[in-house]
Amino acid sequence: MSSSSNPSTHHTSTIGSIGTPSRRNTELALLVFAVVIPVFAYANVGLAINDSVPPGLLSYGLGLGLLAGVGHLVVRKFAPYADPLLLPVATLLNGLGLVLIWRLDQSKRLQALDNFVQAAPRQLLYTALGIALFVVVLVFLKDHRVLQRYTYISMVGALVLLLLPLVPGLGKNVFGARIWIQIPGLGSIQPGEFAKIVLAVFFAGYLMVKRDALALASRRVIGLYLPRGRDLGPIIVVWAISILILVFETDLGTSLLFFGMFVIMLYVATERTSWIVFGLLMSAAGAVGVATFEPHVQQRVQAWLDPMREYTLSQEGVAGHTEQSMQALWAFGSGGTLGTGLGQGNSDLIKFAANSDFILATFGEELGLAGVMAILLLYGLIVERGVRTSLAARDPFGKLLAVGLSGAFALQVFVVAGGVMGLIPLTGMTMPFLAYGGSSVLANWALIGILIRISDTARRPAPAPAPNPDAEMTQVVRP
């Protein structure tokens, strides 16, 4: 459990808390950049489209600055030793996403569509709610280990969230994927985004208790430690649920995300490579099995293998086909190395979901290869800081939860960006922070809040030991 790279464990605990730098000022400095960059981008879009600085520039800048400032102050007060990179990177991504959503709002081509709404004001509201949720997490979740108590409640909660879209009358089918629920008066929610966090809590709590049984009771066959039959239970259950999601919600991405997250956490908990092998075999078997009889999945794979054919079919008006994949590829290609410049591309040709699932294509066209690589590296930074937090955490529950959340985040980025760029078949998920969508923004701010909470605990200097009456006389030496 000891983590050699954690600076706090290098101290002998008798010396007590030599102040580990809290890095809060670093965070503040980075946050300034995270606010200023989107403000400049916003001005840039306005100048490119309307030849004038957008009238909302000041209020946008102040608003984003205020939200970031609140976030920062709350971290300073409630999680002073937290990782200094998570908040600024999330703010930057969220701010850039807002700018591009506003930019797509200005598109005449999208305005001509029937169901057009101004998305940027809503997204700003969601962002405010997201940061509020972030604040709530930090203020009320004083110690992440509290979550451990809710292991089985989390399980039930996650199952409910996952199954909600299947409830008749509540679930909504958007382009073949049933991952939405419609709540009258509130709009639609993607419960899968929240289920991601709740499931991570359940997996962490469950695996923390069962890890020894899963890890040690095994037989060795050809260099692999095979688990006992009855220990296979949980992985088979999760696998079955993933397959059910795939079949009934026809969403490859969500299914892959949950199963992948579970395999990652199982591997970390047990240190058994055999679980990875099992996981890969089972997901391969599941994917192939479902793809053979599920036409929606087949079609997605077809569209991925030959996006041009899919485009042609959609132009001929064949139902169920969409031009989006090809349009996204054209957007990326037309952007080239440096992009057309903000506000000067035609990524709105993607039309449906241009500002949500496909928003990365707008980055690709207008900021080019350079911009997309920067965005991807920012995501990479969040993921690696999350894994770093897991390494530094001192309790197994915190370790598992942090790696589960970071791993899920990484898988989500991979599945969405890979789908939009044509690396893997397209699935119906959104780029965290960038894409338009309340569920996604809220859930991801909560995720960052939990990671910050774990990292605060992990980086916090070890508490001074209770005063020892013998301390004067005896020198305690610990390794």
Chain residues that interact with other proteins, rule: CB under 8 A: 1, 3-4, 108-109, 111-112, 264, 267-269, 271, 308, 311, 326, 329-330, 332-337, 346, 349, 364, 368-369, 372-373, 376-377, 379-380, 383-384, 387-388, 390-391, 396, 399-400, 403, 406-407, 410-411, 413-414, 417-418, 421-423
Q: Is 219 helix (H, G, I), strand (E, B) or coil?
A: strand
Contacts with 256 (C-beta within 8 Å, 6 or more apart), sequence order: 242, 283, 411, 415, 427
If you count them, how many residues does the chain have? 479
Indicate the residue among 350 and 353 with the shorter CB distance to other proteins: 350
Contacts with 211 (C-beta within 8 Å, 6 or more apart), sequence order: 269, 270, 396
Q: Which helix (H) or strand (E) holds 227?
A: strand 224-227
Q: What's the closest the beta carbon of residue 452 comes to other proteins, in angstroms?
A: 19
β-bridge partners, 163: none
Q: What's the closest the beta carbon of residue 24 comes to other proteins, in angstroms?
A: 25
Q: What's the closest the beta carbon of residue 473 comes to other proteins, in angstroms?
A: 36
Burial of 189 (0-12, 13-18, 19+ CB in 10 A): buried
Indicate the residue among 91 and 314 with the shorter CB distance to other proteins: 314
Indicate the residue among 259 and 311 with the shorter CB distance to other proteins: 311
Indicate the residue among 158 and 410 with the shorter CB distance to other proteins: 410
Sign of the alpha-carbon torsion through 65, 70, 73, 74: negative
Establish how many alpha carbons lie within 13 A of residue 140's alpha carbon, considering only the half-sphere containing its beta carbon. 8
Q: Are 215 and 208 in contact (CB under 8 A)?
A: no
Indicate the residue among 162 and 342 with the shorter CB distance to other proteins: 342
Q: What's the closest the beta carbon of residue 267 comes to other proteins, in angstroms?
A: 5
Indicate the residue among 110 and 133 with the shorter CB distance to other proteins: 110
Q: What's the closest the beta carbon of residue 379 comes to other proteins, in angstroms?
A: 7
Indicate the residue among 41 and 413 with the shorter CB distance to other proteins: 413
Q: Are 392 and 5 in contact (CB under 8 A)?
A: yes
Q: What's the closest the beta carbon of residue 156 comes to other proteins, in angstroms?
A: 27
Q: What's the closest the beta carbon of residue 127 comes to other proteins, in angstroms?
A: 24
Token pair, residue 9, equals 């464990």
Q: What's the closest the beta carbon of residue 351 comes to other proteins, in angstroms?
A: 11
Long-range contacts of 41-49 (CB under 8 A, 24+ apart): 41/95, 41/96, 41/99, 41/342, 42/99, 42/102, 44/341, 44/342, 44/343, 45/99, 45/102, 45/103, 45/106, 45/342, 45/343, 46/343, 47/343, 48/341, 48/342, 48/343, 48/344, 49/103, 49/106, 49/343
Selection from 217, 244, 239, 238 nearest residue 228 by Cα: 217
Sign of the alpha-carbon torsion through 449, 26, 465, 139: negative
Q: What's the closest the beta carbon of residue 338 comes to other proteins, in angstroms?
A: 10
Indicate the residue among 30 and 413 with the shorter CB distance to other proteins: 413
Q: Are 117 and 104 in contact (CB under 8 A)?
A: no
Indicate the residue among 81 and 414 with the shorter CB distance to other proteins: 414
Give the amino acid at 3.
S
Indicate the residue among 103 and 388 with the shorter CB distance to other proteins: 388
Q: Which helix (H) or strand (E) holds 221?
A: strand 218-221
Sign of the alpha-carbon torsion through 75, 76, 80, 83: positive
Q: What's the closest the beta carbon of residue 390 comes to other proteins, in angstroms?
A: 6
Q: What's the closest the beta carbon of residue 4 comes to other proteins, in angstroms?
A: 8
Indicate the residue among 165 and 307 with the shorter CB distance to other proteins: 307
Q: Which residue has the tokens 């970031």?
A: 68
